């Protein structure tokens, strides 16, 4: 029944907006269940651009292209300079026939069959990255589910379970069961009596009994009920042998291995929660969709060497890489999306605060590998359809293809998504050595590896010549000292990109940063 004295949601928000301003309004909207997913509430409305106002954008990645797209739509004259011979930046896909040359000079030719690919950079899209999803919708980029959490994937630790891979569903159930039993013991031993009321203690014990699938003695033991979560030795069937045979639970000591609970907590992360998506046919469908809008504005093979500015505008010098010829372009404003890992190659005429900020951001150096196999043995033999397996070896994880399930013929799985020391170790190898390492480490999960292997490619981001790193990784200290200086407009120059966001390494961060930068430029223009 509706209480007639209660204001409508809209009335309440209007009132709060009037009294407390936008911040209070946003807070209130969040409390009422609106808005909390993203800071994106629609593309910027840049009305009333001055005729002839111009912007030069450095970099045709997503930050640069979204900036150019919205600026041009608003009436600005826009040019984009791009170092590579393609749009998209880190938003790209490797397919059969593509060539990848590392900064070391090592050349890999991708040998995947038709339709197979890997996304070396971004590869999954959270359901709440509304800015990215907005443009996918607008440009007609077809998306399909990215199978993130797969209960039938494996986890592997060299320190537990005798080094044998375990199914996620089994060890996650065991972790929950064992810890529930321990907590129940503590509660029953009155250890928690200072912390919970008698009533809450009863509720807690009831929760633990069901949540942890404990037996009548509040113990976690092997049973058909437990197997109904962790999996059976013989699953339920029909007829004479229809009765299930339960599996044996793992020991507490094994289950407490950090590989178990970090795999579980991984999926609790806001950015890792299902539902997730990927573009049909490869991540570069997004970059290509943007390029279909702004491609005519892009000058490719342009290596920016200098950004000069005075009070009225900017002049950007660049080299046409194939010919070596120097050129320049002038504009009222510059949006620079060049990654900070290589910005030192550009002479930037900016103030000391921005200059210091540009040098203050560490980059992560992840590595991905795509391995092509003759058949989908992970589906056919192991019942794994998409999702991940985790290991404490340098390759860190396997990820299974999320598309064309049940198809026959060669398929590509992600044979490594390495980070930190593991990524450096693999990066330091030759491409051939990396393949051997990925096979040796991956066959712990799948003994079929050697028999079914066809070919593979590795992308070590520390050796990708146009970025020499993967993504920004701000520390809290650096962010406190430098973030606002990094994103502030410096005369006629403003930086954008994932490094200029709180969503480092995500396409959403690049887009939100690009939109924020041009919104502020537009405001300055209007105020002038």
Partner 1 sequence: MSLRRALILIPPLLALLAAPGHADTPGGVQAKNKAADGEKVYKQICAACHMPDAMGSGGGAIPALAKDKKLADPAYPIAVVTKGKGAMPPMGDMLSSAQMAAVITYVRTHFGNSYAQPVTEADVKRVAKAGGSAE
Find the binder of partner 1 among 27, 248, 262, 274 (CB under 8 A).
Answer: 262
Question: Does residue 269 belong to the site contacting partner 1 (CB under 8 A)?
Answer: yes
Segment near partner 1 (CB under 8 A); pick from 171-179, 377-385, 413-421, 444-452: 413-421
Max alpha carbon distance in the chain (Å)?
87
Binding to partner 1 by CB under 8 A, coded x per residue (else -) over 427-446, reads: xx------------------
CB of 469 to partner 1, least distance (A): 5
Segment near partner 1 (CB under 8 A); pick from 2-10, 325-333, 422-430, 447-455: 422-430
| Dist CA 428 CA 365 (whole Å) | 12
| Dist CA 308 CA 227 (whole Å) | 67
CB of 184 to partner 1, least distance (A): 16
- Residue number, 69 or 168, with CB nearest to partner 1: 168
Segment near partner 1 (CB under 8 A); pick from 36-44, 177-185, 239-247, 259-267: 259-267
Locate 367 and state its tokens. 């590595």
State the number of CA atoms in the 13 A half-sphere of 20 facing the CB. 12
The SS3 call for residue 274 is: coil
Q: β-strand 125-126 against 245-246: which pairing, if any?
A: unpaired
Using CB atoms within 10 Å of the CB of residue 137, give its burial: 0 to 12 exposed, 13 to 18 middle, 19+ buried: exposed
Question: Does residue 421 belong to the site contacting partner 1 (CB under 8 A)?
Answer: yes
Locate 133 and state its tokens. 């999803």
CB of 4 to partner 1, least distance (A): 44
At residue 236's C-alpha, the angle toward residues 230 and 239, to 5°, is 170
Binding residues for partner 1, rule CB under 8 A, total: 64
Q: For the chain, what percentages of helix, strand and coil (3-state, to nearest 5) are there?
A: 40, 20, 40
- Residue number, 13 or 125, with CB nearest to partner 1: 125
Segment near partner 1 (CB under 8 A); pick from 137-145, 202-210, 417-425, 448-456: 417-425
Binding to partner 1 by CB under 8 A, coded x per residue (else -) over 42-81, reads: ----------------------------------------
Contacts of residue 517, Cβ cutoff 8 Å, sequence gap at least 6: 63, 67, 335, 487, 494, 495, 496, 500
- Residue number, 334 or 398, with CB nearest to partner 1: 398
Looking at residue 218, what DSSP letter applies?
A: S
Q: β-strand 107-109 against 232-234: which pairing, if any?
A: unpaired
- Residue number, 117 or 390, with CB nearest to partner 1: 390
The SS3 call for residue 63 is: helix
Question: Does residue 396 belong to the site contacting partner 1 (CB under 8 A)?
Answer: yes
- Residue number, 74 or 342, with CB nearest to partner 1: 342
Q: Which candidate, 480, 493, 482, 478, places its Cα nearest to that of 524? A: 493
Binding to partner 1 by CB under 8 A, coded x per residue (else -) over 332-371, reads: --------xxx-xx-------------xxxxxxxx-----
Q: Which candidate, 383, 385, 414, places its Cα nearest to that of 399? A: 414
CB 438, CB 416: distance < 8 Å = yes
CB of 403 to partner 1, least distance (A): 19
Write out the binding residues for partner 1, residues 156-195 only, by CB under 8 A. Answer: 157-159
Segment near partner 1 (CB under 8 A); pick from 54-62, 122-130, 235-243, 484-492: 122-130
Find the binder of partner 1 among 161, 373, 377, 417 (CB under 8 A).
Answer: 417
CB of 292 to partner 1, least distance (A): 25
CB of 420 to partner 1, least distance (A): 5
| Dist CA 469 CA 246 (whole Å) | 48
Find the binder of partner 1 among 43, 231, 313, 465 (CB under 8 A).
Answer: 465
Locate 466 and state its tokens. 């146009």
Report H helices in 212-359: 224-230, 252-255, 258-266, 284-294, 352-358
CB of 279 to partner 1, least distance (A): 16
CB of 179 to partner 1, least distance (A): 14
- Cα–chain center distance at 309: 35
CB of 156 to partner 1, least distance (A): 9
Contacts of residue 352, Cβ cutoff 8 Å, sequence gap at least 6: none
Find the binder of partner 1 among 124, 230, 288, 446 (CB under 8 A).
Answer: 124
Find the binder of partner 1 among 460, 486, 493, 512 (CB under 8 A).
Answer: 460
- Residue number, 333 or 417, with CB nearest to partner 1: 417
CB 280, CB 257: distance < 8 Å = no
- Residue number, 410 or 469, with CB nearest to partner 1: 469
CB 392, CB 159: distance < 8 Å = yes
* Phi, psi of 471, deg, nearest 5: -140, 155
- Residue number, 22 or 421, with CB nearest to partner 1: 421
CB of 331 to partner 1, least distance (A): 26
Using only C-alpha atoms, the chain has a radius of gyration, in whole angstroms, of: 27
Find the binder of partner 1 among 419, 489, 519, 525 (CB under 8 A).
Answer: 419
Binding to partner 1 by CB under 8 A, coded x per residue (else -) over 481-510, reads: ---------------------xxxxx----
Using CB atoms within 10 Å of the CB of residue 52, give its burial: 0 to 12 exposed, 13 to 18 middle, 19+ buried: exposed
Residues that bind partner 1 (CB under 8 A): 103-104, 122-124, 155, 157-159, 258-259, 262-263, 266-267, 269-272, 340-342, 344-345, 359-366, 388, 390-394, 396-397, 417-425, 427-428, 460, 462-463, 465, 468-469, 471, 473, 502-506
């Amino acid at each position: 029944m509706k209480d007639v004295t209660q204001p409508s949601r809209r009335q309440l928000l209007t009132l709060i907006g009037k009294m407390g301003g936008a911040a209070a309004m946003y807070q209130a909207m969040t409390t009422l269940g609106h808005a909390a997913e993203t800071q994106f509430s629609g593309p910027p409305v840049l009305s009333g651009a001055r005729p002839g106002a111009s912007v030069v954008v450095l970099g045709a990645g997503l930050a640069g292209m979204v900036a150019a797209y919205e600026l041009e739509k608003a009436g600005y004259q826009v040019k984009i300079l791009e170092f590579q011979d393609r749009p998209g930046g880190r938003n790209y896909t490797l397919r059969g026939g593509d060539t990848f040359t590392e900064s070391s000079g090592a050349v890999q030719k991708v040998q995947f069959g038709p339709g197979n690919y890997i996304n070396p950079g971004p590869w999954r899209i959270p359901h709440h990255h509304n800015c990215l999803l907005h443009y996918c919708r607008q440009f007609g980029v077809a998306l399909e589910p990215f199978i993130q959490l797969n209960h039938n994937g494996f986890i592997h630790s060299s320190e537990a379970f005798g080094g044998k891979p375990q199914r996620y569903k089994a060890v996650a159930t065991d972790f929950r069961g064992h810890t529930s039993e321990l907590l129940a013991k503590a509660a029953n031993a009155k250890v928690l009596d200072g912390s919970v009321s008698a009533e809450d203690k009863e509720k807690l014990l009831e929760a633990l009994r069901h949540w942890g699938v404990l037996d009548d003695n509040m113990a976690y033991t092997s049973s058909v009920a437990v197997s109904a979560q962790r999996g059976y030795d013989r699953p339920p069937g029909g007829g004479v042998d229809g009765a299930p045979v339960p599996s044996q639970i793992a020991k507490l000591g094994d289950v407490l291995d950090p590989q178990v609970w970090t795999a579980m907590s991984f999926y609790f992360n806001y950015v890792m929660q299902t539902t997730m998506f990927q573009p049909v046919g490869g991540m570069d469908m997004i970059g290509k969709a943007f390029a279909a809008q702004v491609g005519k504005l892009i000058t490719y093979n342009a290596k920016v060497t200098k950004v000069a500015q005075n009070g009225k505008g900017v002049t950007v010098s660049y080299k046409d890489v194939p010919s070596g010829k120097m050129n320049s372009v002038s504009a009222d404003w510059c949006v620079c999306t060049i990654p900070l890992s290589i910005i030192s190659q550009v002479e930037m005429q900016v103030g000391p605060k921005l200059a210091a900020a540009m040098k203050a951001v560490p980059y992560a150096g992840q590595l991905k590998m795509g391995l092509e196999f003759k058949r989908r043995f992970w589906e056919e033999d192991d019942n794994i359809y998409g999702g991940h397996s985790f290991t404490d070896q340098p390759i860190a994880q396997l990820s299974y293809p999320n598309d064309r399930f049940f198809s026959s013929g060669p398929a590509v799985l992600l044979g490594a998504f390495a980070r930190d020391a593991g990524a450096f170790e693999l990066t330091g190898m030759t491409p051939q050595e990396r393949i051997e390492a990925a096979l040796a480490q991956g066959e712990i999960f799948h003994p079929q590896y050697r028999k079914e292997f066809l070919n593979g490619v590795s992308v070590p981001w520390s050796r990708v010549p146009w970025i020499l790193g993967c993504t920004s990784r701000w520390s809290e200290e650096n962010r406190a000292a430098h973030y606002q200086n990094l994103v502030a407009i410096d005369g006629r120059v403003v930086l954008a990109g994932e490094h200029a966001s709180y969503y480092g390494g995500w396409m959403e961060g690049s887009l939100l940063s690009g939109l924020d930068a041009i919104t502020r430029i537009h405001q300055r223009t209007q105020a002038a």
